[in-house]
Amino acid sequence: MGAFGLAAAWFGVVVFRTSSMVRSALALLFSMAAIGGMFLAMEAEFLGVLQLMMMATEMAIMAIFMVMYMMDPGGLSGMDMTHQKRASLAAGALGALGALAVAVLADWGPIEARVPAATAQVRELGIEIMERSMLIFETAGVTILTAMIAATAIAIQSRRR
Amino acid sequence: MNFVAVLLMLLAGTYWVAVLEDWVSTGRFRPAGPVLSGLALLGRESLVPRKPDRIFFEVAPALLLVSAVLAAAVLPLAPGLILADLATGALFVNAALAYVMVALLMAGWGPDGAYAMVGGFRFLGQLVAYSMLIVMPITAVAMRSESLLTTEIVTSQASLWNVVYQPLGFVLFLLAAMAVAFLPPFDLPTAPGELAGGVEAEYTGWRLAVMRLGRAVLVLTVALAATVFYLGGWLGPVLPPWAWSASKTLAVAAAMLFVGRYVPRLREADVLAWCWKYGIPLALLNIFYVGVVILGVA
Amino acid sequence: MATLTVALVVGAVLFGIGLYGALSQTNLVMIMMGVELMLGAAMVNLVAFWRFLHPEVYAGQMFVLIVMTVMALEMTVGFGIATGRFRAKGSVEMEEAQDLKG
């Protein structure tokens, strides 16, 4: 799991260090895939596979949008696309340190060594979705529909012109 | 032992797919064709275009091969003849096939060529069209088997194959599978005669050989997936299970290769429009129908 | 103990990187990538909590599913806005978007 974690963090850094936009989007993809690998290592098989599947599509679409909207998608002219560097570096470091402090210092209580088998997990997660958390799940579905309509409405060219 | 046996079977199947593809596209049956053209490719120089994105250029063919093999790894050839019987097998097939698109996007962007890039981005558009039509029919299949285990999916078809149980899902899945493997009429990313090979345009020598191999494995994998999900996998009388899997898979592959030959290549916009306007409603209808039948039977 | 800490440390580092990216980039799409990284960090933490503290409570996995949904939604709406902005002004640079201030 540590290896996947390192890979995730490394690719996360690459996202903001490379100047080629497609590389940046695919680095984010591999960071997310490494997170999916961490899920698999933590024996959350369904979530890991789902993460691998969703992120492949999401990040590839991100890549095409970056090529569409960036001024310099190939990163050949070496433009600087950042601002307020020092402040954001400080904020990032501060955020990471805060979270690290909590992670290390807090008392997390006893660790469970055993975990249900993967088949049982899939089954139980399905029952959770369709029973106790059904309303939440349905809300998520309706929210997706709303977002789809809203995004299309924003993006579509107005006919009046 | 099993591991080696499965790999050997996949390799043999890939070889036959390559022979079949050669047969339908040239009209001549040459059993030694893939070996000869493979050797010819290996013997040639593998050029690297000017100013490539080197990482993508090198990784893309390998990623295509790996994702196709990973998708095949969760599909059973016979009881026990499976590389990894994952609890989420049916979902894993989708996950692995999604990386085919990533590989083609890389192959399109990497070599810094106009045709290749158009091909890569076309395949991304194609993914937006077909991906739902892969997931939704598989959902209906998993509804019947009440499990995501691919072996359970096969045994659930012991009384009736899914192709009879949900023919609509089978047709949609087969079309989507052809789109995944970019077979004609969905061969938009390579588009011979229009894009000069598209994503394959800048690849030569052994890199092209790896890419062609990955494509052949991909065709075999989607045919195997159709067999497992709809044609009852290894089930069948008299013959041993693996022979049933093999013959069904090759039959599906041959059908996919043969049909595409007589249909003109579709336009990108048409593929997207038809998939979303007709395909997805039909897939939802299929899910609804299967749900009603399951509740009716129970 | 150790594995939980490893997961949480990875989560913290990813969160820091994502925060830095979201604040320092000038392009809307790059800012969204920073946000995605932060959400990814949140997911790592959630799965770690589920696995090592309460593996029998599936609401933890459910929460991860919801975060994945949020990621997809954020992309949808973000790209919708980016498309609209690009149509109107021809760029998605955030420093040029001062005119959106009321």
Q: Which of residues 62-81 of A touch C (CB under 8 A)?
A: 62, 65-66, 68-71, 81
DSSP string, C36-57: HHHHHHHHHHHHHHHHHT-TT-
- Tell whether C16 is covered by a domain: yes
- Tell whether C71 is covered by a domain: yes
Question: Are the beta carbons of C68 and A108 separated by less than 8 Å?
Answer: no
Distance CA B222, CA B96 (A): 11
Which chain C residues are Cβ-neighbours of A97 within 8 angstroms?
Answer: 12, 16
Predicted pLDDT at C9: 86
Distance CA A93, CA B277 (A): 48
pLDDT at A25 over 70: yes
Distance CA A37, CA B234 (A): 31
Report the gap between the CA of B244 and the closest CA in chain A (Å): 27
Number of domains observed in the structure of chain C: 1
Distances (CA, A) of B35 to B176, B213, B292: 29, 11, 50
Here the ipTM equals: 0.82
Look up residue B29 and give its DSSP letter.
Answer: -
Neighbours of chain C (3+ CB pairs under 8 A): A
pLDDT tens column, B118-152? 878 888 888 888 888 888 999 888 888 888 888 88
Domain boundaries, position C53: 2-91
In this structure, how many other beta carbons lie within 10 angstroms of the beta carbon of residue B194? Answer: 14
Q: Which of A45, A50, A52 lies closest to B87 in CB terms? A: A45
| B78 alpha-carbon distance from chain centroid | 20
Provide the sign of the torsion angle of the four alpha carbons A138, A140, A142, A148, taken in this order: negative
Mean pLDDT taken over chain A = 81
DSSP string, A20-55: -HHHHHHHHHHHHHHHHHHHHHTT-HHHHHHHHHHH
End-to-end CA distance of chain C: 51
Report the gap between the CA of B55 and the closest CA in chain A (Å): 9
Return the top range by mean pLDDT from B49-53, B229-233, C70-74: C70-74
User: Nearest to residue C64, comparing CAs of C88, C85, C40?
Assistant: C40
Confidence tier at B285 by pLDDT (50, 70, 90): very high
pLDDT tens column, A113-143? 777 888 888 888 888 888 888 898 899 889 9
Distance CA A77, CA A72 (A): 7
- Tell whether C101 is covered by a domain: no
Q: Which of B88, B102, B127 lies closest to A45 in CB terms? A: B88
Q: Tell me the mean pLDDT in the region A36-48.
A: 86
CATH number where C77 lies: 1.10.287.3510
pLDDT at C37 over 60: yes
Question: Are the beta carbons of C52 and A111 separated by less than 8 Å?
Answer: yes
Q: Tell me the mean pLDDT in the region C25-49.
A: 86
Distance CA A7, CA B165 (A): 45
Buried (b) or exposed (e) across C61-92, using 16+ Cβ within 10 A? bbbbbbebbbbbbbbbbbbbbbbbbbeeeebb
Per the CB < 8 A criterion, the answer to whether B102 and B252 are in contact is no
- Tell whether C36 is covered by a domain: yes
